[in-house]
Amino acid sequence: MPAKREHWASRIGFILAAAGSAVGLGNLWKFPYITWHNNGGAFVLVYLACVAAIGLPVMMAEILLGRRTQMSPVPAFEKLGNRGWGLVGFLGVLTGFVILGYYSVIAGWSIKSFIECVGWSINGYQQPADTAFGKFLSDGPLQLLLAFIFLFGTALIVWRGVSKGIEQAAKFLMPILLLILGYLVVRVMFLPGIGQTFHFLFRPNFSELPAAGVLEALGHAFFTLSLGMGVMITYGSYMHKRESIARGAGFVVFLDTLIALLACVIMYTIIFSVPGVAESVSGSTVGMLFVTLPRLFYTELSGGVLIGPLFYVLVAFAALTSTISVLEVIVSFFIDKLGFKRSTSTVIGTAAVAVCTFLSALSLGAVGFLSGFEIFAGKSGVLSTLDHIAANYLLPVGGLLTTLFVGWFVSRKISADELGMLDESGDPTFSFKLWLFFIRFIAPMAILAVIIAVILGKDFS
Ligand code: TRP
């Protein structure tokens, strides 16, 4: 038998770790970018609806699976279902390899941007050549170094365990992240572009929302809340029985959404404040976070010497608490299912991820045959292909199966009891019935719509 299950040492432990998992590159890089492309307002509203109507109920379902069984995804599905359902957990572990394989590479870029900004803050800003970022991407050894530094840092924390590693890291990193974010928000409030930002974000105009934007909003809700691959099952399994799942999930969803919106406020306001920049941003994906912003920090903002480095500390910390959660799913699988020690599991898990990372890091131009192939139209190379597979196929399928499992196979009694939603006479409360309705009908149908849309050719990555 494995040793007694580890638990978060404090109530805030789960919340900070789960929020840390949710808040990541999805909030700081992907959300501002897709919101920009979908013309703001109406897209934001649809996204908020997806988060509330699907994200929140599904997160509660994942946490309840983990907490009820006190097990990581594979044994959790097996215990409440059967061996076949265990495959859903296994799919999550596989998805973990895929996500971590490319996410660590992009996360590594934040280290580079940070070092570059520190250099500019000390020595004065020097405008990089237009080709500089492309050169950086195709510098194989540098990409490998940065991604492996990131992966190694992630592994060190996971190695230390649930409360001593993950919880401690989240307790240290998340407050700093919030402070930096708060400072940046206050700072941009006084820039001339703030009015235009609010107009863009909060004035819905549905004629400007591309039809595909609705499904993109849903797909992103899954990614940004870390749903569909068992992170919340795993983190839920370390949660004490006395805590409220609905409250924990509600807080994580709220914080994640708030931070995504604040990231937009910060980035858009800077962009809108400089004439002519808004038009040139729209064309590129990585451009906004890693190319446009650093330039504006130094050329257009007073105090940029401080904001520049701080901003990339923020990005790195947000990414780190996310990569930790993905690795933990993999490591807890080895611990629970194969009976390995945490240290052994961490080494094996990280080594396996490193293979994916290795291939991704070299697929940005460094190695021709890794960069050039195209399985999905417009997605060339390993990194884009992995991102595409994860966001478009693995997460929605994992999410759909999880929802169906909890909604239709786990008994109502177990769910209501675990959610603490039974009244004095032992009957499910109204909140429970509402939740069940969303889990049984709304969420699966919406996810199915995404999957069908993907099959018909819409891309969410
Ligand atoms: N939610 C994180 C982000 O927004 C990424 C992430 C971490 C994730 N763990 C996950 C995405 C599990 C999907 C599944 O950056």
Per residue in 230-243, pLDDT tens?
999 999 999 999 99
- Per-residue pLDDT, 1: 43
Distance 390 CA to ligand 1 centre (A): 10
Cross-strand bridge partners of residue 392:
none
* pTM score, whole prediction: 0.94
394-417 per-position pLDDT tens digit: 999 999 999 999 999 999 999 999
CA of 56 to the centre of ligand 1 (A): 15
> Which two tokens mark 11?
């109530």
CB 446 within 8 A of CB 228: no
Q: Residue 454: is its pLDDT beyond 90? A: no
- Tell me the C-alpha to C-alpha distance, in Å, between residue 84 and each of 66, 74, 78, 171: 18, 10, 7, 37
Q: How far is the C-alpha of 461 from the C-alpha of 459, rounded, in Å?
A: 6
Of 47, 99, 257, 392, the one to substitute when testing ligand 1's pocket (max ligand atoms within 8 A of C-beta) is 99
CB of 27 sitting under 6 A from ligand 1 = yes
**Ligand 1 near 25 CB (within 6 A):** yes
**Closest Cα to atom 8 of ligand 1:** 226
**DSSP secondary structure, 149-218, as one string:** HHHHHHHHHHHT-IIIIIIHHHHHHHHHHHHHHHHHHHHHHTSTTHHHHHHHHHS--GGGS-THHHHHHH
Q: How far apart are CA 219 and CA 397, in angstroms?
A: 11
Assigned token pair, 420: 């603490």
Closest by CA to 332, choosing from 15, 99, 71, is 71
The protein residue with its alpha carbon nearest to ligand 1, atom 14, reads 226
163-217 pLDDT, tens digit each = 999 999 999 999 998 999 999 999 899 999 999 999 999 999 999 888 888 888 9
Q: Is the pLDDT of residue 108 over 80?
A: yes
Ligand 1 pocket, 325 CB below 6 A?
yes
Give the span between the Cα atoms of 323 and 82, in whole angstroms. Answer: 29
At a CB cut-off of 8 Å and minimum separation 6, what does 326 contact? 21, 96, 99, 100, 103, 229, 231
What is the DSSP code string of 416-438? HHHTT-B-TTSPBPHHHHHHHHI
Q: How far apart are CA 68 and CA 66, in angstroms?
A: 6
The Å distance, Cα 194 to ligand 1 centre, comes to: 29
Protein residue closest via CA to atom 7 of ligand 1: 322
Ligand 1 atom index nearest CA of 27: 4
Residue to mutate (ligand 1; options 94, 158, 326; most atoms within 8 A of CB) = 326
Sign of CA dihedral 9, 10, 13, 14: positive
21 lines ligand 1 (CB under 6 A): yes
CA 392 to ligand 1 center in whole angstroms: 14
**pLDDT tens for each residue of 80-101:** 999 999 999 999 999 999 999 9
Span 21-47, average pLDDT = 93
Q: Is 231 in the pocket of ligand 1 (CB under 6 A)?
A: yes
Among 1.10.1040.10, 3.40.50.970, 1.20.1740.10, 3.30.160.110, name the CATH number for the domain at 11-455. Answer: 1.20.1740.10
Residue 284 pLDDT grade (very low, low, confident, very high; cuts 50, 70, 90):
low
- CA 283 – ligand 1 centroid, Å: 25
Q: Which of 72-76, 213-217, 357-361, 457-461 has the lowest mean pLDDT?
A: 457-461
| pLDDT for the residue 26 | 94
41 lines ligand 1 (CB under 6 A): no
CA of 183 to the centre of ligand 1 (A): 25
H or E segment at 333? Answer: helix 304-338
pLDDT for 2 beyond 60: no
Instruction: Give the Å distance between the CA of 116 and the centre of ligand 1.
Output: 26
CA distance 257 to 24: 11
Q: For ligand 1, what atom is nearest to the CA of residue 326?
A: 9
> Is 260 a pocket residue for ligand 1 (Cβ < 6 Å)?
no
pLDDT in tens, 336-349: 999 999 999 999 99
Does residue 296 surpass a pLDDT of 90? no
26 CB under 6 A from ligand 1?
yes
Q: Is 331 in the pocket of ligand 1 (CB under 6 A)?
A: no
The average confidence (pLDDT) of the chain is 92
Which residue owns the Cα nearest ligand 1 atom 6? 226
The domain limits of the chain are 11-455
Give ∠ CA 391-393-398 in degrees, rounded to 5: 95
